[in-house]
Amino acid sequence: MSLLKERLAQKIEEHRPRTAKLLKEFSEVKVGEVNIGQIIGGARDVKSLVTDISYLDPMEGIRFRSYTIPEVLAKLPLAEGNEYPCIESFWWLLLTGDVPTREEAQSVRDEFNTKKIIPQYVIDLLRRIPRDTHPMTMFSTAVLAMQRESKFSREYASGMNKSDYWKPMYDDAVEIMAKLPSIAAYIYRMKYRNDTLIPPNYTVDIGTNFAHMMGIGKPYDDVARLYFILHSDHESGNASAHTTHLVASTLSDAYYSLSAGLNALAGPLHGLATQEFLRWLQDVVKKLDGKEPTEELMKKFVWDTLNSGQVIPGYGHAVLRKTDPRYEAQRQFCLKHLPDDKMFKYVNMLYKVVPDILLEQGKAKNPWPNVDAQSGVLQWHFGIKEYDFYTVLFGVGRALGVLSNIIWDRALYYPLERPKSLTTTMLEDIAAKSISGSKV
């Protein structure tokens, strides 16, 4: 058993009584109420999920295992000779809640390195898909195709004790996580770099290998580390995390579940927003003929977008009510490494004008930028200008979080998810009763 799996087993044993006690002694305790607005309005703020991997505070932003983004970046062991932590140490943190030692992080890296190779049938399949297919379709298909490898499905079919479900779930998750960056890079080089494929390096960490397979020099390995960490998790109610959890709650394995989660990520209101932001920004740059953006011109483009009934991509959030710390962390990287980048200047100018305009318009509950208003510019600077690939990058990162979550889902025996629906007539009856009730 790997060092991480052993540690996880210990953590799970310690945690199980907490969940069991809550269920046994406090099941009937009310946490909140649900109103008609929330039922029709996408369950906003309905507290109905539990996860210990991350927590999103509307004002403070994300905490991974109780650490803020700056704390995560400062506390985790750095990838050797680099400025950012290795992803392997972050995976350890997400799964166990502990900051690993350098040796512990190295053990994860060694484990991933034995599993990096992409099965030949996945490569064959990717090569047969029409090249103009969206890379997210390719990515999700590759994950789904590997379902035949699932240890969880095999062991479940042959009869397994429920308390052991998490173990093959963990094994599947590690197999997937080890391969995802290579699959993403393979798709990129096949689709956008004339099939000039670069084989994986089996001795280095995920960040270094990803930059190597993408064919991009330093400091892109640090960009990859930062990007994957920042995009990993955002509580469990966001669409990709929730979808992965929901599918896994049927005891579908990690391959089926992640593939479904990636499909949710592919929507324009979720992961596709990075692509949408870049597309929109390109349009602005084109209209300005590449000139330095002035505040006046920028304001005009923002208003034109709003007046044509579209949203400003990369701004607003369903939960956050301040500038996304993931935006801020990438902004710091840009300020250090690419302060004179033309696109970065546009992004900065947008940061100056958009919040006030959204406030003036008075619709968006959060006028501040989210992660997607910064991520694409960073990728663009390092030569990834094919912006429909950005959601795939998001997907590699998001897998870290959602896979950690579904391992714990099985460890804590979370059941099949099955909320209750009502009809519109029933809601109308409830509404009518609330009026007659208030008149009494």
The one catalytic residue in 242, 245, 270, 381 is 270
CA angle (124, 150, 225) in 5-degree steps: 75
The strand pairing partners of 68, in sequence order, are: 63
Q: How far is the CB of 157 from ligand HAX (least distance, A)?
A: 35
Let me know how long the chain is. Answer: 440
For helices 3-26 and 102-113, angle between their N-to-C axes, nearest 10 degrees = 100
Q: How far is the CB of 401 from ligand HAX (least distance, A)?
A: 12
- For the stretch 117-136, what's the b/e string if a residue is b when 16 or more beta carbons lie within 10 angstroms of its beta carbon? ebeeebeebbeebeeeebbb
Name, in order, each residue with C-beta under 8 angstroms of 214's C-beta and a sequence gap of 6 or more.
185, 188, 189, 198, 220, 384
The one catalytic residue in 317, 324, 381, 409 is 317
Q: How far is the CB of 369 from ligand HAX (least distance, A)?
A: 8
15 belongs to the catalytic site: no
Closest CB to ligand HAX among 11 and 300? 300
Closest CB to ligand HAX among 102 and 363? 363
Q: How far is the CB of 402 from ligand HAX (least distance, A)?
A: 13
Q: How far is the CB of 306 from ligand HAX (least distance, A)?
A: 6
Closest CB to ligand HAX among 172 and 372? 372
For helices 120-128 and 135-145, angle between their N-to-C axes, nearest 10 degrees = 150
User: What Cα–Cα distance (Å) separates residue 393 from each residue in 1, 88, 181, 275?
Assistant: 30, 17, 8, 11
Name, in order, each residue with C-beta under 8 angstroms of 351's C-beta and a sequence gap of 6 or more.
369, 373
Closest CB to ligand HAX among 169 and 272? 272
Closest CB to ligand HAX among 245 and 270? 270
Neighbour tally for 140: CB within 10 Å: 22
Closest CB to ligand HAX among 77 and 376? 376
Q: How far is the CB of 131 from ligand HAX (least distance, A)?
A: 26
Q: Are 254 and 176 in contact (CB under 8 A)?
A: yes
Q: Which residues bind ligand HAX (CB under 6 A)?
A: 238, 269-271, 273, 306, 311-318, 363-366, 370, 372
372 belongs to the catalytic site: yes
233 belongs to the catalytic site: no
- d(C-alpha 397, C-alpha 176), whole Å: 12
The one catalytic residue in 172, 222, 372, 409 is 372
- d(C-alpha 76, C-alpha 79), whole Å: 9
- d(C-alpha 389, C-alpha 2), whole Å: 33
Which single residue brings its beta carbon nearest to ligand HAX?
Answer: 316
- Residues with catalytic annotation? 270, 317, 372
